[in-house]
């Protein structure tokens, strides 16, 4: 089959991660079609050229509209801020390109719905569209999915999910596009809680049907970068501070359509936690627990174990029989964050070759967007709060 010619749009953190994945996928996995890293698109030509030189992109462009319309491009990989996901994806699908779009799918349910509808129509023409919730392809989490589907936990009762980061604890960390609602849509909610929502719904096979939420912005202004805001990274500032228009932290309870109860927390203010993406699922017959800071491990509890031996046991997900691991290193040699993107690229290419859908589809990502918007609506509605009456601090407490 002819090679797949890739156009990647975006030169930031995700652009680098996806560039690495496209270079690596065919080296470790037997792909049904070879991949050519054809065009890298970025708004800053110099920055794009530097990334292209590092990762082997054949050419650079600053015009995504032109690239998407080119007949020699087969795949459009979208790694831009969220406000550009819908226009780029819709243009690419209309042009018959396969589309891989970073999460969250869009900045609103309205845009995500239009994208999911367009993807469904395109699929009828053999076009594949996928949303990049890359944590699904962590071997230990993929193993958790297998165990849950096989009935290990039984009927799910509790879902506890946390995504804890601390990269914004410094009040003088600069203002970037991720802190601008017009580009990012939301803060910790869309950036990292989206992963927790997707993971929870994927693992359980159930949808979240109701939420009660609170959002918090701890630092309302941040220094403006002396260079153009939104390019990312730390730079010298000129003393000016701009408004933070997204949340720093989100917390919400949720009910699932199978009756399970969920508790979710996402924050970029959890001092000391770099990337603690955690989930624990408890059911009638067992439980699983996962923490990305120990990404090659899964904790498993099985009530059918002998009573004297019951307890969470550690499973090191590095055996060739574990998802994706047969392509990598000898048993016991763990893999890292970047490998999830490689696995994502592998599954995407295989789906294109087979003419099949690959999860998470745009419809799956739309389900996540609906929850994100419900959380934001709940947090904006003060009626969700029950005020706890406390005596005034100036009043004496009866002895």
Q: What's the pLDDT tens digit per position in 93-122?
A: 999 999 999 999 999 999 999 999 999 999
Same domain, 144 and 131: no
Report the CATH number at residue 68: 3.40.50.720
CA triplet 250, 256, 258: central angle to 5 degrees?
Answer: 165
Is 357 inside any structural domain? no
Same domain, 108 and 203: no
pLDDT at 234: 45
Cα(358)–Cα(367) distance, integer angstroms: 16
Query: Residues of the chain whose pLDDT is less than 50?
Result: 228-234, 395-399
| The two structure tokens encoding residue 323 | 């998802």
3-state SS, residue 294: helix
The pairing of beta strand 286-291 with beta strand 221-225: unpaired
Is 12 inside any structural domain? yes
Task: Say if residues 178 and 244 touch (Cβ distance below 8 Å).
Answer: no
Same domain, 279 and 162: yes
Same domain, 163 and 187: yes
**What pTM was computed for the model?**
0.94
Q: What are the tens digits of pLDDT across the range 55-71? A: 999 999 999 999 999 99
Is 388 inside any structural domain? no
CA triplet 304, 306, 312: central angle to 5 degrees?
Answer: 70
Phi (first) and psi of residue 290, to 5 degrees:
-140, 140
| The two structure tokens encoding residue 116 | 């999911």
Is 103 inside any structural domain? yes
The pairing of beta strand 249-256 with beta strand 261-267: antiparallel
Same domain, 217 and 320: yes
Same domain, 158 and 68: no
Same domain, 155 and 270: yes
Same domain, 54 and 99: yes
Same domain, 9 and 68: yes
Burial of 380 (C-beta count, 10 Å sphere; 0-12/13-18/19+): exposed
Task: Say if residues 257 and 209 touch (Cβ distance below 8 Å).
Answer: yes
Cα(175)–Cα(223) distance, integer angstroms: 6
Q: Which of 85, 111, 135 is the last residue of a domain?
A: 135
pLDDT at 23: 97
Same domain, 127 and 167: no
Q: Which of 163, 190, 188, 370 is nearest to 265 (CA)?
A: 163
Is 271 inside any structural domain? yes
Q: Which of 135, 154, 188 is the last residue of a domain?
A: 135
Same domain, 272 and 300: yes
pLDDT at 383: 74
Is 49 inside any structural domain? yes
pLDDT at 398: 42
User: How many domains does the chain fold into?
Assistant: 2
For the sheet containing 129-132, what is the strand order?
59-61, 35-41, 4-9, 75-78, 98-102, 129-132
Tell me the residue range of the domain where 80 lies: 4-135
Same domain, 92 and 155: no
Is 89 inside any structural domain? yes
Cα(61)–Cα(45) distance, integer angstroms: 7
Report the CATH number at residue 174: 3.30.360.10
Q: What is the mean pLDDT of the chain?
A: 94
Q: What are the tens digits of pLDDT across the range 238-280? A: 679 999 999 999 999 999 999 999 999 999 999 999 999 999 9
Q: In angstroms, how far apart are the furthest CA atoms of the chain?
A: 83
| The two structure tokens encoding residue 35 | 């991949």
Is 53 inside any structural domain? yes
Q: Which of 90, 107, 135 is the last residue of a domain?
A: 135
| The two structure tokens encoding residue 6 | 């890739």
pLDDT at 394: 54
């Amino acid at each position: 089959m002819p090679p797949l010619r890739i156009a990647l749009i975006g030169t930031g953190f995700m652009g680098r991660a996806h560039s690495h994945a496209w270079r690596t996928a065919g080296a470790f996995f037997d792909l049904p079609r070879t991949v050519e890293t054809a065009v890298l698109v970025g708004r800053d030509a110099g920055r794009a050229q530097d990334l292209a030189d590092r990762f082997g992109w054949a050419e650079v462009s600053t015009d995504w509209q032109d690239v998407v319309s080119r007949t020699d491009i087969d795949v459009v990989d979208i790694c831009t801020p969220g406000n550009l996901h819908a226009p780029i994806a819709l243009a690419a699908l209309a042009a018959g390109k396969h589309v891989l779009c970073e999460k969250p799918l869009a900045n609103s349910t309205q845009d995500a719905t239009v994208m999911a509808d367009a993807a469904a129509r395109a699929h009828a023409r053999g076009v594949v569209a996928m949303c990049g919730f890359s944590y699904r392809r962590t071997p230990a989490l993929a193993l958790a999915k297998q165990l849950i589907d096989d009935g290990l936990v039984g009927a799910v009762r509790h879902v506890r999910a946390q995504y804890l980061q601390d990269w914004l604890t410094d009040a003088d960390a600069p203002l970037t596009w991720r802190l601008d609602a017009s580009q990012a849509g939301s803060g910790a909610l869309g950036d990292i809680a989206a992963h927790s929502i997707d993971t929870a719904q994927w693992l359980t096979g159930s949808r979240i049907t109701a939420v009660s939420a609170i959002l918090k912005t701890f630092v309302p202004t941040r220094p403006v970068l002396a260079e153009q805001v939104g390019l990312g990274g730390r730079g010298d500032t000129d003393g000016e501070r701009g408004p933070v228009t997204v949340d720093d932290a989100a917390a919400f309870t949720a009910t699932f359509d199978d009756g399970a109860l969920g508790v979710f927390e996402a924050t970029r203010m959890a001092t000391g936690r770099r990337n603690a993406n955690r989930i624990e699922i408890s059911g009638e017959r067992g439980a699983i627990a996962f923490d990305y800071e120990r990404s090659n491990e899964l904790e498993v509890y099985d009530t059918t174990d002998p009573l004297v031996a019951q307890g969470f046991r550690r499973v090191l997900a590095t055996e060739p029989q574990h998802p994706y691991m047969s392509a990598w290193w000898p048993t016991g040699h763990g893999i890292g964050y970047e490998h999830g993107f490689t696995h994502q690229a592998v599954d995407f290419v295989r789906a294109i070759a087979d003419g099949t859908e690959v999860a998470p589809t745009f419809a799956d990502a739309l389900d996540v967007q609906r929850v994100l918007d419900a959380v934001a609506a709940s947090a904006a509605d003060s009626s969700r709060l029950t005020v706890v009456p406390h005596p005034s601090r100036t009043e004496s407490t009866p002895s």
